[in-house]
Structures are given as C-alpha cells and as structure tokens.
Amino acid sequence: MTGIFSYFLSEDTLVTGLQYKWYKIKDYQPQYLQKLILVEDKISLTKIDTNFIIIKIPRSDFQAKHIVDSLVESNKEVLGKIPNLIIDIRNNTGGTWAVYKSLFPYIYTNPMVGGEQMRKCSNDFIEKQKEAVKLDKKIQLCINFYRKMRQH
C-alpha cells in the first residue's frame, strides 16, 4: 500500500496516512470546539518598510507548504536584502515543519546538519509501515543492486 490512505481501525479509531490515529471523543463537549475556531487562514507575505517583512503562517499543513514555498520563491530577491524577517505563527494549528523549510536560509545562515529522528509508535503503525514499503520485484532488484554497489 503506497500513497495516502485512511481507514477505520475500530468504531472509535480512524487512521490517516502512516502515522496519525484519531480517536473519537468519548464525552462530546461543544464548548471546547468553540475555542478551536481558526482566526485567520490566509498565508501572506507583506513588506512593512525597508527593514521589515512579515510572513503570516496561520497553518502548517502540506497545502500551506506550497503557498509558503511560492511566496518565498517569488520574493527571493527582497528576502535576501531585508534585515528583519518576522514569521507570525500566532494561532497556528500545527502540522508539518516542512512548511518552513524554504525559510531556513533566511532564518539561519550557518550550515545546518540534519539528524535522525526518533518516534514512539504503536504496533499498528509498525505493521502499516511494513505494508507501505512492500515493493514490486523490479524496484526491489534496484535496491538490492544499489546496496551491493555500496558494499564495494
């Protein structure tokens, strides 16, 4: 199984993708949901003056990544010259760090070293990962060939 998928693990549990489980709220309390209303959804880049640019990123989902990347690409020249960049993530509802990746060169100018990541995961997650990486024979042959080449 590859790509994005969703399925119900049980009556109370929805699995989306490879790593997210959503559990049904046992005691529904609508007053809590009112607090989660998104104040603003628009991602924007505004030049305040010759010293400041503000980028508002109220959400960090994968669709937001494409918008942020596009804004950064189309404003590359001005971003490289402006001394102060403000990234406004107030009321951001969370998501993926990948949204901010195109901003990294403007935030931190020294070399960046990536590392491995550790994650707690359930047996269900591990089994779904195994399913997701089942490959057809041609791809597996290529991977095996690559691994042999790396050994020599």
CATH of the domain at 51: 3.30.750
SS3 for 80? helix
Averaged pLDDT of the chain: 78
Please check whether residue 79 is in contact with residue 53, taking contact to mean a CB–CB distance below 8 angstroms.
Answer: yes
pTM of the model: 0.53
User: Where in the sequence is the domain holding 90, given as residue range(s)?
Assistant: 39-111
Higher per-residue pLDDT: 75 or 28:
75
DSSP letter for 103, please. Answer: G
Per residue in 96-135, pLDDT (tens digit) is 888 999 999 998 887 777 665 666 667 777 677 666 666 5
Calpha distance 146→22 (Å, rounded) = 38
Per residue in 78-101, pLDDT (tens digit) is 999 999 999 999 888 778 888 999
Q: Number of structural domains, the chain?
A: 1
Residue 126 in tokens: 């591990």
Residue 85 inside a domain? The answer is yes
